[in-house]
Structure 1
Amino acid sequence: MSYLYFKKYVLLAGLTFLPAIAWSQFVVPPAFRNAVELQWNLTGSAQLTAASSPGYDAAGSGWLRLTENARQQTGSAQYTGASFSAEEGVIIDFDYVMWMTDAPTDLAGDGLSFYLYDATKGMTGAKHGGDLGYCGGDGGYLGVGFDAYGYFSTDIACGGLGDPNTPRIPNTIAIRGPLSSSNTYLAGTNVPALNNPDATARAVDRSARIVLVPTGDANSPFLVSVLDGPTGAPAPIITDQPFPYAAPPQLSIGFSASTGTATQIHEVRLNKVAVPADVQIDVAMTSPTSRRHGDPVSYTLSVKNNTLSNSPLSAKIDVPSSAPLINDRIPELSNKTWTCTASGAGTTCPAASGSGDIADLGNYTMGQSGELNFVFQGEVDQAAVCNASVGNSASVDFTPTSGFADEDPANNQSSSTAFVVDCPTDPIKPVPTKPVPALGVWGLSLLSMGLIGWGAIAQRRNRKG
Structure 2
Amino acid sequence: MRLWGIVPLLLVATALNSGSAATGTLLLDETFAGTSVTNAGFVPLNDACLTGASSAPPAGGSTLGPCTAHQTGPVPTIGDTPGWLQLTDSLRGATGGTLYNRALPGNGGLQVTFEQYQYGGTGADGISFFLIDGAAQLEKTGAYGGGLGYAQRGAEPGVADAYLGVGLDAYGNFAVDFEGRGTGCPADQKPPSVYQVYDRPPNTVTLRGPGNGDTGYCYLAGTGNSTQIGTDPDGNKLYGSSLPGSLRDTTLGAAKRTVRVTVSDDTRPTVTVEIDFGSGFQQVLSKKMPTDAPRTYKFGWAASTGSDNDVHLIRNVEVRSVVPLAALNIVKQVDKTETQPDVYEIGDTVPYQFVVTNAGTSTLTNVTVVDPKISGITCPRTTLTARGTPNSTMTCTASHTLTGAEISGGKFVNTARARGTSGSGAVTSNESTVSVPVSGGILHLSKKASATTAKPGDVITYTVLAENTGDEQLRTARFTDDLSRVLDDADLVGTPEADIGNVTYTAPKLAWEGPLDAGQTATITYTVKVKSGGDRRLGNGVTSTTQGSNCRSAQDDPACRTTVTLGKGHLTLAKRADVTRVRPGATLTYRITATNTGDGPLEDTSFTDDLTRDLDDARYLGDAEATVGKVTYRAPKLTWRGTLQPGQKAVVTYSLKVRRGGDGTMRNTVVTSEPATNCPSRACTSLVIRVPKHDKPVLSP
TM-score (norm 1): 0.51
Structure with greater strand share of residues: 2
CA distance in 1, matches of 2:249, 2:324: 40
- Equivalent position amino acid for 1:62 in 2: G
The one of 107, 115, 121 aligned to 1:95: 115
Aligned to 1:42: 44
- Distance 1:133-1:365 versus aligned 2 partners, 3 A rule: same
- Distance 1:157-1:165 versus aligned 2 partners, 3 A rule: closer
Deviation at residue 204 of structure 1 after TM alignment:
3.5
The secondary structure found in structure 2 opposite 1:159 is coil
CA distance in 1, matches of 2:92, 2:142: 16
Aligned to 1:146: 168
The one of 108, 123, 129 aligned to 2:123: 108
Unpaired segments ≥5 residues, structure 2: 12-23, 55-65, 69-76, 152-157, 184-192, 224-241, 326-356, 363-417, 419-425, 432-701
- Equivalent position amino acid for 2:147 in 1: D
The one of 173, 195, 210 aligned to 2:261: 210
- Distance 1:192-1:167 versus aligned 2 partners, 3 A rule: farther
1:347-386 superposed matches below 5 A: none
The one of 214, 219, 226 aligned to 1:185: 219
CA contact 1:211–1:225 (8 Å) conserved in 2: yes
Aligned to 1:79: 100
- Distance 1:321-1:278 versus aligned 2 partners, 3 A rule: closer
CA distance in 1, matches of 2:359, 2:323: 14
- 1:181-213 CA distances to partner (integer Å, 9 max, x unpaired)? 5200101123144344544x5533111111111
The one of 274, 278, 284 aligned to 1:237: 284
- Equivalent position amino acid for 1:234 in 2: F
- Distance 1:158-1:169 versus aligned 2 partners, 3 A rule: farther
The secondary structure found in structure 2 opposite 1:214 is coil
Aligned to 2:202: 170
Rg larger for: 2
1:68 aligns to 2:89 (yes or no): yes
- Distance 1:79-1:128 versus aligned 2 partners, 3 A rule: same
Identity of aligned residues (%): 27
The one of 299, 317, 322 aligned to 1:271: 317
The secondary structure found in structure 2 opposite 1:206 is strand
CA distance in 2, matches of 1:26, 1:276: 9
Deviation at residue 271 of structure 1 after TM alignment:
3.3
Deviation at residue 47 of structure 1 after TM alignment:
0.8
The secondary structure found in structure 1 opposite 2:27 is coil
Deviation at residue 224 of structure 1 after TM alignment:
0.7
CA distance in 2, matches of 1:321, 1:125: 34
CA distance in 2, matches of 1:191, 1:123: 32
The secondary structure found in structure 2 opposite 1:65 is strand
- Distance 1:97-1:319 versus aligned 2 partners, 3 A rule: closer
CA distance in 1, matches of 2:248, 2:293: 35
TM-score (norm 2): 0.35
- 1:371-411 CA distances to partner (integer Å, 9 max, x unpaired)? xxxxxxxxxxxxxxxxxxxxxxxxxxxxxxxxxxxxxxxxx
The secondary structure found in structure 2 opposite 1:156 is coil
The secondary structure found in structure 2 opposite 1:186 is strand
Aligned to 2:178: 156
1:128 aligns to 2:149 (yes or no): no
CA distance in 2, matches of 1:267, 1:146: 12
- 1:214-258 CA distances to partner (integer Å, 9 max, x unpaired)? 11x2xx2x211110022472211123x211224444321211112
- Count, aligned residues: 274
- Distance 1:158-1:67 versus aligned 2 partners, 3 A rule: farther
CA contact 2:182–2:219 (8 Å) conserved in 1: no
- Distance 1:206-1:260 versus aligned 2 partners, 3 A rule: same
Aligned to 1:400: none
- Distance 1:42-1:165 versus aligned 2 partners, 3 A rule: closer
CA distance in 2, matches of 1:144, 1:160: 15
RMSD: 4.0
- Higher RCO (Cα < 8 Å, 6 or more apart): 1
CA distance in 2, matches of 1:125, 1:364: 38
- Distance 1:193-1:131 versus aligned 2 partners, 3 A rule: farther
- Equivalent position amino acid for 2:170 in 1: A
CA distance in 1, matches of 2:119, 2:316: 18
Deviation at residue 18 of structure 1 after TM alignment:
4.4
CA contact 2:168–2:247 (8 Å) conserved in 1: no
CA distance in 2, matches of 1:229, 1:125: 26
